Amino acid sequence: MPPGISSIPIHPIPPPSNADLTHGQRHINPRASLSSTTSKSASPSSPRCNGAAKAPLVASASSLRASRLYSTESAVSRLARSATAPGASAETYIAYGMTQKLFEACSSQADYKVPQASQKGVPVPTTESGEHLGVSESWWYKGAPLQYPIIRYFTWNMAGYWNTGPGISAIAITNPLNHSTELGLVPTFSTWSQITFLHMYLLTVRLRALPNRESFQTYSRHLIDHFSHNAEHRMDVLHDLGSRGIRNKYLKDLFIQWRGIIAAYDEGLIKGDAVLGAAVWRNLWKASATGPDGGEIDWSKVAWVVAYMRRVTAQLARMDEADIVFELSGAAAKDSKIFGFSPLDGKLVDGSK
């Protein structure tokens, strides 16, 4: 015992009786009121002992029925209930599962593989900057020809329509016929992370419309947690970063990038397509004046991504949260018209109906 501190005997404190509890205390802590009444009534000699003994059985049966109801209940109603009960323990578990499906939809848009990672002794090809180069069939790297020219100025007005014509302060698009939808991005870890962040941001904009702030914070926190777990797995398996300390350093840098992306894209949504296009260029094309092929950057590709973001944002705004989860997950994700290539984006850039 340290000097100056004497030993104080501890005596058990009996629970307060029901008569000692005020009405407010019984309302705040109903268990205290329950324990004060059952401690006297639930004795072996009490005539209500049998009823008290059956209480746990009734409670377990109720729990079993509740678990069965939860398993058969649709995810739509579960998500709706969680949104109306912020901070509840059930909301955290539901949000975790829902955001996992949403993140998988975001991650799959620019997914890539590194075949050499599973081949012992085979070197992994790298870019000029030293990044591991993967392979992918995603439209963000490859695409199909588009059979009409794109020669327009465009911007997005407050009413939600595309304004086209000369004299509008926006991005000028000049492309020949047979314009390719191939964005020409390089399948690397950094490109994957930026495209995934872009889709996570689009979902974040929609999640801001949840009924309360607590629910939005829960869902957004789980969304970035899923990204961190997946990114660390890719570092370890695909890029041979076995040191946990190095991975943690990269994860911290990615989280800082995520916060910056939110601010940059928010500014673009508010100030217009020119600002949003600049943010896309900085993040996806790394603010380079040349494309991955070494030639001058094709600004029509930047405009295509801006149109893509505008379209997805508008579609998500018209959908319920649960419908978004079903649309982007499972078998429905293959036929989803939200994420992924859409000729409508080219028409928006072109200004045609």
* Beta carbons of 112 and 138 less than 8 angstroms apart: yes
In this predicted structure, what is the pLDDT of residue 261? 97
**Model pLDDT, residue 8:** 40
| DSSP-derived secondary structure letter, 174 | E
Residue 227, helix vs strand vs coil? helix
Two tokens, residue 15: 């629970």
Q: Is the pLDDT of residue 12 over 60?
A: no
- Number of C-beta neighbours around residue 215 at 10 A: 22
Determine phi and psi for 184, rounding to 5 degrees. 75, 15
* 312 against 28, higher pLDDT: 312
Which are the contacts of 206, defined by CB distance < 8 A and separation ≥ 6?
Answer: 313, 316, 317, 319, 321, 324
pLDDT digits (tens, 9 = 90+) for 192-218: 999 999 999 999 999 999 988 999 999
| pLDDT over threshold 50, residue 76 | no
198: which 2 tokens? 């872009």
pLDDT above 90 for 322: no
CA angle 243, 244, 249 (to 5 degrees): 105
| pTM (predicted TM-score) | 0.67
Give the span between the Cα atoms of 81 and 204, in whole angstroms: 20
Q: Which of 20-24, 109-113, 179-183, 240-244 has the lowest mean pLDDT?
A: 20-24
Average pLDDT, the chain: 73
Give the tens place of pLDDT for each residue, 106-157.
999 999 999 998 888 899 999 988 999 999 989 899 744 333 333 333 344 4
State the pairing for strand pair 162-164/179-180: unpaired
Element (H, E) at 235: helix 213-237
Q: Structure tokens of 62?
A: 């109720």
Residue 333: per-residue pLDDT: 64
